[in-house]
């Protein structure tokens, strides 16, 4: 099946999780009828390479699309769903920031090769979308939910290293997702647990938080932040804010790729996934993300969602078309160079 032949608009505008290592009978029925666009994998879905490939193949078969996007959070550091012994351990973003501070060329090359290696591991399993890189700028005193996931605290460093990460993933045949637009670095609360509010004025954010996202606005995919930016919309978090998505993400930042919500089951959002999912799409997200694998919630969500818009379908198709026909392999020479840059004997 070629990307040009996929009717992307015939799929529900949602990426969902599943409960275990294989699809359950009720999940198969739900996904076969409602046809969510894609699947996201977590540790509960991962045992070994053969099992992961089988799960992915089964999902794509059930929804009738061998190009259905399969997502994962594989940043490195503490956010990594694929782990030893079957997969390498990759460092967090801050490590590349430290190298970059000493030697910009070495830091950039290390970030690129790191992403190439991660991408090669994902592509070998059939995973074609990585929820990385983090383009947030954490400030002093912010909650450590971002912490060492960030490449640094200045826009130039984050732009450079997030850009190299995007390039490395793309060269490996994996679409990157920049996150969390328009910036999660000022949050003093973990949005998994509660709703953060950022009171910084727009000019200050224009000169800092927005900069990496604006510089990387050519990214194929981006993920929203569940944060209220009171200077823009004092009531709604970015994910649910028409003003913020239209005026900031699509306007000031200039992003025109696939915009997916962060997880609808995070406690920052009030209301059930059906309510917040439809509100996210109405606000301007192209897709919504539901991660927990809770069957009843997925049934409710997928029943409530409107059809995918033609514009969203066009963005999904355009993103897919950007992947290289012949992704770059990651061999012994690249591995040796990467390890030399990091100054370690093994990743």
- pLDDT at position 144: 66
Express each pLDDT in 170-205 by its tens digit: 999 999 999 989 987 786 555 565 578 888 898 998
- pLDDT at position 347: 40
Kindly report the number of other CB atoms within 10 A of residue 48's CB atom: 12
Rounded alpha-carbon distances, angstroms, from residue 159 to 57, 136, 154, 168, 294: 35, 10, 9, 14, 36
Token pair 């012949």 is found at 326
Instruction: Confirm whether 192 is a catalytic residue.
Output: yes
Catalytic option among 7, 192, 199, 218: 192
- pLDDT at position 3: 58
Instruction: Confirm whether 201 is a catalytic residue.
Output: no
Q: What percent of the chain has pLDDT over 70?
A: 94
- pLDDT at position 346: 38
- pLDDT at position 345: 39
CA nearest to 284, candidates 229, 235, 224: 224
- pLDDT at position 126: 98
CA nearest to 293, candidates 273, 278, 271: 273
Q: What is the residue extent of each domain of the chain?
A: 23-342
What DSSP designation does 192 have? Answer: T
- Cα–Cα distance between 82 and 60 in angstroms, integer? 20
Q: Are 69 and 328 in contact (CB under 8 A)?
A: no
CA nearest to 180, candidates 231, 239, 140: 239
Q: N- to C-terminal Cα distance for the chain? A: 36
Helices (H), 64-171: 93-102, 104-125, 155-171
- pLDDT at position 69: 98
Catalytic option among 262, 263, 286, 290: 262
Q: Running along the chain, 347 residues long, what does each successive block of 10 average in pLDDT?
A: 80 98 98 98 98 98 98 96 97 97 97 98 98 90 77 95 98 97 75 73 92 97 92 92 96 97 83 93 97 96 97 97 94 96 64
- pLDDT at position 245: 97
* CATH placement of domain 23-342: 3.20.20.300
Q: Are 176 and 166 in contact (CB under 8 A)?
A: yes
CA nearest to 99, candidates 346, 345, 344: 344
């Amino acid at each position: 099946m070629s990307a040009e032949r996929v009717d992307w608009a015939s799929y529900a505008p949602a990426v969902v999780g599943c409960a275990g290592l294989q699809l359950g009978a009720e999940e198969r029925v739900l996904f076969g009828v409602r046809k969510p666009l894609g699947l996201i994998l977590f540790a509960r879905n991962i045992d070994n390479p053969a099992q992961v490939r089988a799960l992915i193949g089964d999902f794509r078969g059930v929804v009738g699309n061998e190009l259905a996007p399969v997502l994962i959070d594989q940043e490195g550091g503490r956010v990594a769903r694929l782990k030893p012994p079957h997969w390498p351990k990759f460092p967090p973003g801050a490590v590349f920031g430290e190298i970059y501070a000493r030697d910009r060329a070495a830091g950039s090359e290390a970030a690129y090769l790191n992403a190439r290696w991660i991408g090669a591991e994902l592509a070998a399993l059939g995973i074609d979308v990585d929820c990385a890189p983090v383009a947030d700028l954490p400030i002093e005193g912010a909650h450590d939910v971002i912490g060492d996931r960030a490449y640094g605290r200045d826009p130039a460093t984050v732009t450079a290293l997030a850009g190299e990460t995007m390039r490395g993933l793309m060269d490996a045949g994996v679409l990157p997702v920049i996150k969390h637009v328009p910036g999660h670095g000022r949050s003093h609360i973990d949005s998994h647990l509660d709703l953060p509010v950022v009171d910084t004025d727009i000019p200050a954010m224009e000169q800092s938080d927005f900069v990496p996202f604006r510089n990387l606005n050519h990214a194929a995919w981006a993920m929203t932040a569940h944060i209220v930016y009171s200077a823009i919309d004092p009531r709604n978090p970015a994910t649910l804010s028409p003003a913020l998505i239209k005026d900031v993400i699509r306007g000031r930042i200039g992003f025109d790729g696939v915009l997916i919500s962060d997880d609808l089951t995070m406690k920052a959002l009030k209301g059930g996934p059906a309510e917040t999912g439809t509100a996210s799409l109405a606000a301007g997200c192209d897709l919504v993300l539901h991660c927990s694998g809770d069957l009843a919630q997925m049934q409710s969500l997928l029943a409530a969602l409107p059809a995918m818009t033609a514009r969203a379908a066009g963005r999904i198709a355009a993103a897919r078309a950007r992947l290289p026909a012949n992704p770059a392999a990651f061999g012994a020479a690249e591995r040796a160079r990467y390890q030399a840059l990091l100054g370690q004997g093994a990743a």
